[in-house]
Structure 1
Amino acid sequence: MSRLSILFAALLMISALSLVTARFQSRQLFVQLDQLEDKARDLDTDWRRLQLERAELARNARIDAVARDELKMVNATPDRTIYIQGVAPTASGQAAVEGRP
């Protein structure tokens, strides 16, 4: 009978240690889950901020302002435009361009 009670006591101790270990691991996993959820929220916030920033940078008014301010560009006006009149290619000129005699 005493051997049986020692066996049950040992099984009870092993069971208790297993329970403590399982609870400890459960708490660690819960803390890790909470940290990862916080990181996911931070990454989601950064993603949305970057999307807004990209939309702002792609706006036509912003592009126009940067072109005018930083690149010193101006709109093309008819008086600043150079028109070149070309000569229509002839049959012999077209053959020379294509490499035929």
Structure 2
Amino acid sequence: MGRLSIVFAALLMLSAISLVTARFQSRQLFVASERMALKARELDIDWRRLQLERAEQARNARIDELARDELKMTTTLPGRTIYLKGVPAASSAAAAGGRP
């Protein structure tokens, strides 16, 4: 009976140690899972911010403003516009020496 008690006591101790180890690992995995979820939320927020920033950068009004302010560009006026007349394709081939 004495040996059987010692064997059961040893098995009980192993079981208790196994339970404590399993709970510790479970807590570590839970903490790691929460960290990854927080990181995923942060990345999602960054992604949305970048999408808004990209939309703002590509906005036509902003591009127009930058062209006027930084590049000193102005809107074209009909009086300042020079129109060039193109040479027809048939006469340009004749001018090039008769090559087709």
Tell me by how many angstroms 1:28 deviates. Answer: 0.8
Matches within 5 A, 1:56-75: 56-75=56-75
Normalised by the size of structure 2, how large is the TM-score?
A: 0.84
Structure 1 stretches of 4+ moved >3 Å? none
Tell me by how many angstroms 1:80 deviates. Answer: 2.0
Match of 2:26 in 1: 26
Normalised by the size of structure 1, how large is the TM-score?
A: 0.83
- Indicate the SS of the match to 1:73: coil
Tell me by how many angstroms 1:78 deviates. Answer: 1.6
More displaced 10-residue stretch of structure 1: 46-55 or 82-91 = 82-91
Gaps of 5+ in 2: none
Q: Counterpart amino acid of 2:55?
A: A
> How many pairs does the alignment contain?
97
**C-alpha distance in structure 2 between counterparts of 1:23 and 1:86, whole Å:** 83
